[in-house]
Amino acid sequence: MIFDSKYDLKDESETLLLGKKIASHLHPGMMIYLKGDLGTGKTTLVRGLLRGFGYQDKVKSPTYTLVEPYSFNTFMIYHFDLYRFKNESEWDDSGFREYFNKNSICFVEWPEKAGDVLPKPDIAIELSHQNIGRYIDLKSYTPQGAACLKAII
Ligand SMILES: Nc1ncnc2c1ncn2[C@@H]1O[C@H](COP(=O)(O)OP(=O)(O)O)[C@@H](O)[C@H]1O
Ligand SMILES: [Mg+2]
């Protein structure tokens, strides 16, 4: 871990805005973990991230499908929700490994459900409830991740 930032997010609009800011410093090949209890705003943050890339439609939570793809001109974004992921052997069968490549940006909710099979993230985000708002902790694990976190301060 080379950089750590923490913020209070007073309401949903602040979660969306932070997502938008992060998006402008992400590049194809990067991957972000999104941890935190149900209802802490992981999917809301992904909606903000996608808005940052110009996507304006509805963002479905991939709770049942496990992954939702978004196609852009020169890259893909994959939004995973592994809450219902059963075990590590399901990983090889799913073909998900190929989704993590130099032409894609991956956002992964509930990465802990995949055990040790996931690659290391550039940034690991942890959201938690705080009174009526949310608290967010962002940690970088690569130079690209650190550059992103430093750029949004
Ligand atoms: N900073 C915030 N303060 C208060 N409520 C928020 C905040 N960010 C998101 N929410 C709300 O939290 C609820 C759950 O969000 P969601 O993104 O579905 O959570 P998760 O994906 O972690 O289960 C939504 O109603 C959303 O509007
Ligand atoms: Mg969610």
Pocket test for ligand 1, best of 18, 40, 49, 59 (most atoms within 8 A of CB): 40
| pLDDT tier at 1, thresholds 50, 70, 90 | low
> What CATH number is given to the structural domain containing 129?
3.40.50.300
Question: CA 11: distance to chain centroid?
Answer: 19
Whole-prediction pTM value?
A: 0.97
Per-residue pLDDT tens digits for 10-43: 999 999 999 999 999 999 999 999 999 999 999 9
What type of residue sits at position 134?
A: R
| pLDDT tier at 86, thresholds 50, 70, 90 | confident
Give the pLDDT of residue 87: 80
Give the pLDDT of residue 90: 83
Give the pLDDT of residue 16: 98
Measured in Å, residue 37 CA sits from the centre of ligand 2 at 9
Q: Which domain holds residue 124?
A: 3-151
58 HSE (CA, 13 A, CB side):
3
Measured in Å, residue 143 CA sits from the centre of ligand 1 at 29
Q: What percentage of the chain has pLDDT greater than the value 70?
A: 99
Q: What percentage of the chain has pLDDT greater than the value 90?
A: 86
Measured in Å, residue 127 CA sits from the centre of ligand 1 at 10
Query: 1: helix, coil or strand?
Result: coil
Report the alpha-carbon distance of residue 112 to residue 59 in Å, rounded: 22
Domains identified in the chain, total number: 1
What type of residue sits at position 142?
A: T
Encoding tokens for residue 31? 């991957």
